[in-house]
Amino acid sequence: MFGYYYGFDMTYIVLVLPAILLGLWAQMRVQSTYARYSKVRAGRGITADQAARFILDQNGLRDVPIRRISGSLTDHYDPRERVVRLSDSVYGSSSIAAIGVAAHEVGHAVQHAEGYAPMKLRSAIVSVTNIGSTLSIPLVLLGLMLNFSGLAMLGVALFGLVAFFQLVTLPVEFNASRRALVTLESRDILSGEEMKGAKSVLTAAALTYVAALVQSLAQLLRLMILVGGRRRDD
């Protein structure tokens, strides 16, 4: 179906390149959306770290600390150390964008405390996924170079773990955003109009995870086609 055409790898052009462009678009959208709503201050004047602390305490997670880290949009929840880390652009900011991001990360802390199944599965496979991400492409290339289809297929299988990890990540991220929006509204942290801005920020962020899954699936299909085609030629 695909192959090389006048020296061009058509599997890359048809499958991977559009997925990469989708990822770039998603990144630009989240950056622009965050920049837009980072200029809109919450009416209550509460800062993102204060909102995060409040939501954690309301969920009985007073032992989960909030730490400031460098960078912009480097926010995350670390399940190993049970700590919420907020970036310089979020921590201390009273913008609705920052509050939305902080509430999202707290959503992950609540997931962890409740034993949310998709998050437990993602945590369980993260180590083997890292191995697959590192070794998959080299094994495929080495297998193709040595004409060793078994080695190449092993590389494809390892990359399949990467795609599976991205798939499992979707419900984890979507659920954290849903928890964040419900909490922000029910606890009256943000008003109706402010909620629309927070939802726009979290929706744009969610698109980056969708794009990451699409990229992984496109690359996986490409590898399957390349290895499968080599096996048929043998």
Question: Letter for the amino acid at 30?
Answer: V
What is d(CA 5, CA 100) in angstroms, rounded to the nearest whole number?
Answer: 47
Query: SS3 string of 33-57?
Result: HHHHHCCCECCCCCCHHHHHHHHHH
To the query of whether residue 105 is one of the catalytic residues in this protein, the response is: yes
Q: Which listed residue (105, 114, 173, 193) is catalytic?
A: 105
What tokens does 115 get? Answer: 């034993």
What is d(CA 175, CA 188) in angstroms, rounded to the nearest whole number?
Answer: 20
Spell out the residues 6+ positions from residue 56 whose beta carbon is closer than 8 angstroms to its own.
62, 64, 66, 84, 106, 109
Active site residues: 105
